Amino acid sequence: MNHLNHVAIIMDGNGRWGIKYKKSRNAGHRAGLDTVEKIIKHSIKKKIKYLTLFAFSTENWKRPKSEINYLFKLLEFFISEKIDELNKENIKIKIIGSKNLNKKIFKLLNYAEKKTENNNKIQVNLALNYGSRNEIITSIKKIIKNKIRVNEKNFEKFLFTKNIPDPDILIRTGNKNRLSNFLLWQLSYSEIFFEKKLWPDFNEKDFEIIIKKFKRIKRNFGSI
């Protein structure tokens, strides 16, 4: 049976859920945050050591300003209101993505990382202002600047995910079968699960079904 160490999730479908049930995309994001909390708790229960959540992509800046503002308000709420609880639960928060954000958010993210840096029950990586192609190009530029050999090991040293093992599983909710510029390098050998449910409807049972399926997969990593 496979050991499950790292789960990555594209939390898609908030907007559609919000429109369907509350006539507001932002209401879908709010409901999505409840699912985030549920899935973190369940990951701890399952002894998963890394959970990477795609919270905001570099492409999401194309959305209406009101939606962008709401998403960052939610992030602010999540960090400032929940940080003590997360810390008590021994959860380490790590941001992957460019922190080139407004000063208040930048400070808050650094505060959350610093406060939880020695925790070790689970590491929750929040992918924020994250784009995989940009991450790859940035790493290559750094290799050139540092005049070091181009190989996989050196390349990975300059990724946001440095020292984080590759995801075993990628889950994408929301009935869309694509990667959307998420962890393109890191997902090379991950098992991918596309889930029809919208993110706010995704629950522990759905997660459990995926975990069970994953455990039984024969993973070859290119071998036979």
| Positions in the binding site for ligand FPP (CB under 6 A) | 11-16, 29, 32-33, 36, 53, 55, 60, 71, 74-75, 78, 126, 174, 199
Report DSSP state, residue 165.
Answer: P
Instruction: Report the residue number, 16 or 115, with the smaller CB distance to ligand FPP.
Output: 16
Q: Which of 129, 92, 28 is nearest to 11 (CA)?
A: 28
Long-range Cβ contact pairs of 21-28 (< 8 A, separation 24 or more)? 25/67, 26/66, 26/67, 26/70, 28/198, 28/200
- Please report how close the Cβ of residue 152 comes to ligand FPP at its closest, in angstroms: 30
Give me Rg for the CA atoms of the chain: 17
Which of 74/210 has CB closer to ligand FPP? 74
Catalytic residue among 12, 26, 129, 168: 12
Residues 119 and 123: their CA atoms lie apart, in Å, by: 8
**Least distance in Å: CB of 42 to ligand FPP?**
15
Concerning whether 60 is annotated as a catalytic residue, the answer is: yes
Is 12 designated active site? yes
Measured distance CA(3)–CA(138) in Å, rounded: 32
182/199 with CB nearer ligand FPP: 199
Distance CA(17)–CA(26), nearest Å, equals 10
Catalytic residue among 2, 26, 34, 60: 60
Tokens standing for 89? 């639960």
The residue (of 17 and 214) whose beta carbon lies closer to ligand FPP is 17
For the CB of residue 108, give the shortest distance to ligand FPP in the complex, in Å. 11
User: Taking the complex as a whole, how short is the minimal distance between the CB of residue 74 and ligand FPP, in angstroms?
Assistant: 5
The alpha carbon torsion through 180, 173, 56, 134 (nearest 10 deg) reads -20
Residues assigned a catalytic role: 12, 60
